[in-house]
Structure formats: C-alpha cells, structure tokens
Structure 1
Amino acid sequence: MPLYSFEGKSPKVDPSAWIAPTATLIGDVTVGADASVWYGAVIRADFGPVVIGAGANVQDNTVIHVNANGCEVGENATIGHLCVVHDCVIGAQALIGNGATIQDGAVIGERALVAAGAMVGPGTQIPPEVVAMGVPAKRQVPLEGTSKVWVDHNATVYQHLARRHATGIEEV
C-alpha cells in the first residue's frame, strides 16, 4: 500500500485496518481499528490532519483533502465511491452517498445520510439522522426506510468485506 511521509508526518494505520494496495495515504493521516480505505482512494493530509475513525470505510476513488482545520471521519462512517471530502467533519455512522461532495467547514451529523450526487456547501451543518439531498444539499427528510437500513448496516458490511479482501485478493 502506498504510504508517504510529507514534511516529517507519516500515516498511522491501525494493524486491524485494511488499506487497498492501490489506495494512497500522504502525510498526517490516521486510520483507526477495523477501518478500510478502498482501491484508488487518495487521502492527502499535507495542510492538516485527516482522521479516519474506527470501523469507518472510505470507498473506491474517493479523495479526502484538507486545509488547516483537517478532516475527521467518525467511527463506522461510510464515504461512498467517487466522493470529494474536503476539510470537514463527518459524524459517526454517517453515510456519504456515491459521488457526493462535502466542502470546507461542513459538519455532517451522526447517522445522517448525504444522498448520492449531493453537494454540501462550505460551512453547512447537516443535522443527525436526516437524509440531505440536492445541489446544494438543502432538502432534508427524516432518516427512515431503506435509507435507515443503509446507515444501520453499511459499516458492518464493509468491515466484513475488508477482511475478505485482506485475505482473498492476489495480484495476477
């Protein structure tokens, strides 16, 4: 897995975390226990720290970058495929849908779901346990039904899948 030190700061990865061999971590990155960072993801912590909480997953081709404030991805949170997450806070067990963009200073509440393709603008606060939709993400509805099922179970599904990939992939 490509891990790079930048100006004396190196990624710290818990031994139980799984980092895909094509993911790239640069600088002041911390990855917690049972977390996973998937294929093609780039986490670049050159201006400030990035913390990926225990059990969280950062899926394929997502980019996480920071300014001086840094970025925190809460425990058991999911950052879906092809997301851009920049200098913000993602609450515990929140789910960021595929292709969503979260901009500087945004705060996503615990167990909130940001819909696929949504854009959360700078400084926006998304309350806990809602679904935020749109560009910009202003429409919010209660977390229920299928959306709640995704939030309830996605982290566990990805923790199990990461263990399968840790032992089941081989280069051919």
Structure 2
Amino acid sequence: MLYEHLGARPRIHDTAVVAPTAVISGDVEIGPNCQVLHGAVITAEGGPITLGEHVIVMENALIRATAANSVHIGAHTLVGTLASIAGATVGEEVFFASGARIFNGALVGDRCEVRVNAIVHRRAVLPAGTVVPIGWVAVGDPVQLLSPDREAEISAAQPDLDFPGHVFGVDRDTPDLMVQLTERYASSLARHADDRLIGG
C-alpha cells in the first residue's frame, strides 16, 4: 500500500517489486530492481528515505526516517526479517540479519554485517567491512563492539546518547518524562490522519 504523507508521495522505480502487504509512506524513493517483501514498512516521518538499486527489504522489516535523520541505503544491501533501521546512513553491499537494530544517526560503511539481533546504537560509526556479532552492540565513534553482558561499558561509551532528547525533543531529566514524550510523539504521529492511500 502506498500513502501520500505530508504532501510527499513514494517514488518507485519501474523495475522494483513491492509486495501488496508492504506499506510505503511519504518521501520514499525505491531504486531499480529493489524487492520489498510482505509486511515491510518504509515510512518517511518528515525526512526522506532512499533505497539504491538491488536493495532487498525482507518480511516485516521497518525503515523509518525522521525530520532530524533521513535514511539512505546503498545498493545491493539486504535488510533481514524483523530488522529495523531508524534514521541511518548505510553504505553498499551491507547485510542486516534478522532482528538487527540500527538507530538514529548511525553510519554503516560498505560491506558491513550486522548479525542476528545485533544493535548499532545512535551515532555509532561502523567502518567498511565491520562485523557486529550475533547479539552484540556497536557504540561510538570510533566504534566499540561489546557483548551484551558488558552493559556498564556500553553505557559509558555513549554519554551523549540522549535518546529522548534527540529523537523526541524531551530532556531525560524531565520529571514526567514518559508523559511529555508520549504526548509530543502522539501529536507528531497524528499527522498521519491526513494521509491518502494512492495505490495498492
């Protein structure tokens, strides 16, 4: 299903194939010979999304741009089932395995592999050819690859993460953080009320 969002319509190359149960919303450009499979969601929430040629987006993957962080995915990249990419720049020939999570502001170089359930945190920079092992976490610039049991080191490596501030515009020290966060985010998401279905 294709949706116009905030006045922008998806642009899909004639050679790309988008499954009828995928959702493509807003300022999204899908390049030549891309494949977007069933249940995938590609949604431009105020920032653009571009997929280079021969990008494959597997079932139930999520790609989301924001006003602060657009998404670019380079050619010959595979986004695995249940993977999510939010506001990141991705090079060419990258492999995101099932359940990989890529957060806002991350830079993933050419020919990287982010394996099953691995995480690339906000603003992490993966040089070309980096492999993030199954379930591990990539943080920082220069990047550190840490096993999930090293939570203290993961936290120490990202002192400026400020996820609520950067993504939702709410200071982490706000006493009613979740009240402020959900009210602001709901207001932003309510812009979908005016979306228009433009094609199957």
Q: In the alignment, residue 130 of structure 1 is paired with which amino acid?
A: T
Q: Which residue of 2 aligns with 1:83?
A: 83
Which string of whole-angstrom CA distances, capped at 9 and with x for unpartnered residues, describes residues 29-51 of structure 1?
A: 00000011111000110210010
Which string of whole-angstrom CA distances, capped at 9 and with x for unpartnered residues, describes residues 11-34 of structure 1?
A: 000000010111000000000000
Q: In the alignment, residue 112 of structure 1 is paired with which amino acid?
A: C
2:145 pairs, out of 128, 131, 139, with 139
User: How far apart, CA to CA, are the structure 2 residues paired with 1:32 and 1:24?
Assistant: 16
CA contact under 8 A between 1:74 and 1:91: conserved in structure 2?
Answer: yes
User: How far apart, CA to CA, are the structure 2 residues paired with 1:120 and 1:20?
Assistant: 28
CA contact under 8 A between 2:136 and 2:145: conserved in structure 1?
Answer: no
1:116, distance to aligned residue in structure 2 (A)? 1.0
Q: Which residue of 1 aligns with 2:13?
A: 14
Q: In the alignment, residue 137 of structure 2 is paired with which amino acid?
A: P
Q: Which residue of 2 aligns with 1:165?
A: none
- Residue 40 of structure 1: SS of its match in structure 2? coil
User: How far apart, CA to CA, are the structure 1 residues paired with 2:6 and 2:86?
Assistant: 20
Q: In the alignment, residue 82 of structure 1 is paired with which amino acid?
A: L
User: How far apart, CA to CA, are the structure 2 residues paired with 1:59 and 1:70?
Assistant: 20
User: How far apart, CA to CA, are the structure 1 residues paired with 2:26 and 2:107?
Assistant: 23
- Residue 21 of structure 1: SS of its match in structure 2? coil
1:61, distance to aligned residue in structure 2 (A)? 0.2
CA contact under 8 A between 2:6 and 2:46: conserved in structure 1?
Answer: no
Which string of whole-angstrom CA distances, capped at 9 and with x for unpartnered residues, describes residues 117-172 of structure 1?
A: 001000001111121124423439xxxxxxxxxxxxxxxxxxxxxxxxxxxxxxxx
Alignment of 1:28-39 (within 5 A): 28-39=27-38
User: How far apart, CA to CA, are the structure 1 residues paired with 2:36 and 2:89?
Assistant: 17
User: How far apart, CA to CA, are the structure 2 residues paired with 1:24 and 1:90?
Assistant: 21
User: How far apart, CA to CA, are the structure 2 residues paired with 1:104 and 1:8?
Assistant: 24
Which string of whole-angstrom CA distances, capped at 9 and with x for unpartnered residues, describes residues 74-95 of structure 1?
A: 0111111101110001110111
Structure 1 segments, 4+ long, off by >6 Å, are none
Runs (5+) with no aligned partner, structure 2? 139-143, 147-200
Q: Does 1:47 align with 2:46?
A: yes
Q: In the alignment, residue 131 of structure 1 is paired with which amino acid?
A: V
Q: Which residue of 2 aligns with 1:104?
A: 104
- Residue 122 of structure 1: SS of its match in structure 2? coil
User: How far apart, CA to CA, are the structure 2 residues paired with 1:94 and 1:58?
Assistant: 12
Structure number, greater radius of gyration: 2
Q: Which residue of 2 aligns with 1:116?
A: 116
RMSD: 1.2
Which protein has the bigger strand share? 1
CA contact under 8 A between 1:126 and 1:132: conserved in structure 2?
Answer: no
